[in-house]
Amino acid sequence: MSKVLILGYGNCLRGDDGIGWLAAEKLQVSLIHPDLQVCTAHQLYPEMVAQLRDIDYVIFIDASVEGIPGQISCSHLSDQPVSGSTLGHTFAPQQLLACAAALYGRAPAAHLYTVTGVSFAYETQVSSLMQLILPVLVRDIERLCAALLMEASPM
Amino acid sequence: MSQTIVIDPVTRIEGHAKITLQLDDAGQVKEAQFHVTQLRGFEKFCEGRPFYEMPSLMARICGICPVSHLIASAKACDQLLAVQIPAPAIKLRRILNLAQMIQSHALSFFYLSAPDLLLGMDADPAQRNIFGVLQQEPRLARGGIRLRQFGQQVIEILAGKRIHPAWIVPGGVSEPLTSAKREVILAAIPEVQAIIEQTLTWFKNVIGNYREEILTFANFPTLFMGLVNEVGSLEHYDGLLRLIDAEGNMVQSGFPAADYSRYLGEDTETWSYLKSPYYKPLGYPQGLYRVGPLARLNMASWCGTPRADEELRQFKHLSPQERLSSFHFHYARLIEILYGIEQIEALLHEPDILDRHVRAFANPNCYEGVGMAEAPRGTLIHHYWIDEHGLITRANLVIATGHNNLAMNRGILQVAKHFVRGDQLTEGMLNRVEAVIRAYDPCLSCSTHAVGKMPLHLEIHDATGQVLHEVQRP
């Protein structure tokens, strides 16, 4: 039973939108722990709520169009229902957490890492800026994971 | 004074549509049109591509039912190769097709339509969505999520990924099934079968609340069309295409995929990019017919699996009038989910299901191939022509949702005439117009994922075009 779940998502055919997926792929190699699960996806969808049931912490990784290109942001997410929610092509992390809370009576603690992209054009590679930022992003998440896993399984 | 009501979604990325209602001087609905406003272009941009790319290309038509396009496309390519597909490969393709049907039907029922069925057509749109279902009936919501997850997991286990897998190829499938993978799928069967049976019980208890909708949701006599096999049971992968009338009488006993253009025509209207297929002997638009779960169950004598057969018997006990109602697409979907689960289990126990010979290889031996299969929404046809180099020279796709276009338009008119009053528009009226479209579960569901609160911009114009009244729903 994994206590920490990392979900990196995005469209790898749309340039920097793939940064979340790329970061998760790196973390799948660099972070090996019995209480850690790392997944990639094109987007978040309601069926993922089943994965959250037995998780203590979830870390979402996504691209963003807000802010300065290359900017890494990390925010703590609430599981409160998002107002005006509709199920469409975008399904936000908060909606997933709200689903978990409604279905299982609890939602894991959650962080959202975003990286502001440069280009979201039809490309299979991320921009050179994202390639520079990627190791920094991965390192930040590794540190957070190390702390969370220590907390989940204190020695 | 005549008026026009336009229901136009303002925020959509894929699958765009709008509805126009024309009122007469008395404020009653006189005409209705369902406009599909996006152009895909797949039939054109695949010209010049090698035929063996077609399954992967065509799978990109849809993110909900890519497997259907994979199967129809691969079957068309099978004909180009003129090969005999190994029996295990056919069974594996069937399993994948059924898994997709399960997840697609689960999406339609639990995510898109259950909010109306559980919370009511007139419920507050802010609550009439999947979150409202989660809060009011968490067990129902959990079940729906699990069913969709099961279908997607089977697809991922067999084909490598949930969306746009590349496993189905011309000649068969690219890899055999392993024993370990089979056991993983089989282990989940009891749980998901229990879920769908509970859902059917719940549904049969609540449909009494929708007598008015059942009588008015595209409830009119039409032909029904779908695949049939040699024993007359429910069929999704192969067989002949049959048409029956509203009383169940045979209209066209069955023709092979290659003959579809002899019996089915396609017309166009200036106000929609969606083609309108029709049954040629009756002409356009009299030759309208319906496809999909309701058509398939009205045509099938039995399902071929024990629990689904029992449910089909109960379905057949509905009155002939009720069985014509497009509202009962929902009922039919649930029965098909049950059938799909039972049939997947049966196929996984076939003695040759783990056989390693799952693909036939050849170069093209024909210049024309037609592939046909039942997608979740109805009959899907892919028709390809190639040159001597195996490059596509022409493609014609008859999409499942297109078959229902004429019926959807007539359905909108019927429900709008019954529920819509131009002088006292309510949100519930609009929702019922949307709901009849949802009953068909068109692939335009890409544009109607907003359960319970579809973004709408409604304008009422007078005969001069002046806006008399405007309602916006963000």
Query: Mean pLDDT throughout B27-54?
Result: 80
Which carries the bigger pLDDT value, residue B146 or residue A86? B146
Test B129 with A85 for CB contact under 8 angstroms: yes
Q: What chain B residue is nearest to A89 in terms of C-alpha separation?
A: B449
pLDDT value at B417 more than 90: no
Of chain B, the percentage scoring pLDDT greater than 90 comes to 54
B452 part of contact set with chain A, CB < 8 Å: yes
Within 8 A of A46 by CB-CB distance, chain B residues are 111, 130, 145, 148
Q: Nearest Cβ partner of A99 from B126, B134, B454?
A: B134
* Per-residue model confidence (pLDDT) at position B444: 59
Test A50 with B450 for CB contact under 8 angstroms: no
Within 8 A of A103 by CB-CB distance, chain B residues are 134, 138, 141-142, 145
Test A102 with B148 for CB contact under 8 angstroms: no
CB B349, CB B179: distance < 8 Å:
no
SS3 of residue B293 by DSSP? helix
Angle at B179 between CA B173 and CA B181, to 5 degrees: 70
Among B27, B28, B35, which Cα is nearest to B8's? B35
Q: Nearest Cβ partner of A47 from B145, B449, B455?
A: B145
Cα(A126)–Cα(A117) distance, integer angstroms: 9
Of chain B, the percentage scoring pLDDT greater than 70 comes to 88
Test A99 with B474 for CB contact under 8 angstroms: no
Query: Mean pLDDT throughout B95-99?
Result: 97
Confidence of residue A138 (pLDDT cuts 50, 70, 90): very high
Test B131 with A88 for CB contact under 8 angstroms: no
Range of lowest pLDDT (B4-18, B77-91, B284-298, B442-456)? B442-456
CB B274, CB B405: distance < 8 Å:
yes
pLDDT value at B451 more than 80: no
Cα(B150)–Cα(B139) distance, integer angstroms: 16
Give the pLDDT confidence of A30-40 residue by residue, as tens digits. Answer: 999 999 999 99
SS3 of residue B173 by DSSP? strand
Of the segments A74-83, B33-42, B310-319, which one has the largest average pLDDT value?
Answer: B310-319
Residues belonging to chain A with any Cβ–Cβ distance to chain B shorter than 8 Å: 42, 46-47, 49-50, 81, 83-89, 95, 98-99, 102-103
Taking the CA of residue A155 and the nearest CA in chain B, the distance in Å comes to: 35
Q: What chain B residue is nearest to A84 in terms of C-alpha separation?
A: B126
Mean of the per-residue pLDDT values for chain B?
86
Range of lowest pLDDT (B54-63, B94-103, B449-458)? B449-458
Which carries the bigger pLDDT value, residue B436 or residue B160? B160
* Per-residue model confidence (pLDDT) at position B297: 95
User: Alpha carbon of B376 to those of A72, B38, B92: distances in Å?
Assistant: 42, 21, 17
Give the pLDDT confidence of B211-242 residue by residue, as tens digits. Answer: 888 888 888 899 999 999 988 899 999 999 99
Chain B from 122 to 181: CB within 8 A of any A CB: 126, 129-131, 134-135, 138, 141-142, 145-146, 148-149, 152, 163
Confidence of residue B75 (pLDDT cuts 50, 70, 90): very high
Test B13 with A89 for CB contact under 8 angstroms: yes
Q: Where are the beta strands (DSSP E) in A10-83?
A: 36-41, 57-64, 72-77
pLDDT value at A2 more than 80: no
Confidence of residue B13 (pLDDT cuts 50, 70, 90): very low
Among A39, A56, A59, which Cα is nearest to A47's? A39
Model-wide pTM > 0.80: yes
Within 8 A of B111 by CB-CB distance, chain A residues are 46, 87
- Give the mutation candidate from B149, B161, B456 for the A interface (greatest A CB count, under 10 A): B149
Test B129 with A47 for CB contact under 8 angstroms: no
CB B176, CB B338: distance < 8 Å:
no
B438 part of contact set with chain A, CB < 8 Å: no
Q: What chain A residue is nearest to B473 in terms of C-alpha separation?
A: A84
* Per-residue model confidence (pLDDT) at position B453: 42
Confidence of residue A134 (pLDDT cuts 50, 70, 90): very high
* Per-residue model confidence (pLDDT) at position B79: 97
CB pairs under 8 A between A and B: 56
Range of lowest pLDDT (A107-116, A145-154, B218-227)? A145-154
Q: Nearest Cβ partner of B152 from A47, A84, A95?
A: A47
Q: Nearest Cβ partner of B451 from A49, A87, A89?
A: A87
Query: Mean pLDDT throughout A88-108?
Result: 84
The complex scores an ipTM of 0.78
* Per-residue model confidence (pLDDT) at position A35: 92
pLDDT value at B47 more than 70: yes
* Per-residue model confidence (pLDDT) at position B452: 37
Query: Mean pLDDT throughout B187-203?
Result: 97
* Per-residue model confidence (pLDDT) at position B12: 25
Q: Is the dihedral of CA B348, B352, B354, B358 positive or negative?
A: negative
Query: Mean pLDDT throughout B49-70?
Result: 89
Query: Mean pLDDT throughout B58-68?
Result: 84
Give the pLDDT confidence of B381-411 residue by residue, as tens digits. Answer: 999 999 999 999 999 988 888 899 889 888 8
Within 8 A of A47 by CB-CB distance, chain B residues are 145, 148-149, 152
Of chain A, the percentage scoring pLDDT greater than 70 comes to 88
Query: Mean pLDDT throughout A122-137?
Result: 95
* Per-residue model confidence (pLDDT) at position B449: 29
Range of lowest pLDDT (A69-78, B36-45, B83-92)? B36-45
Confidence of residue B170 (pLDDT cuts 50, 70, 90): very high
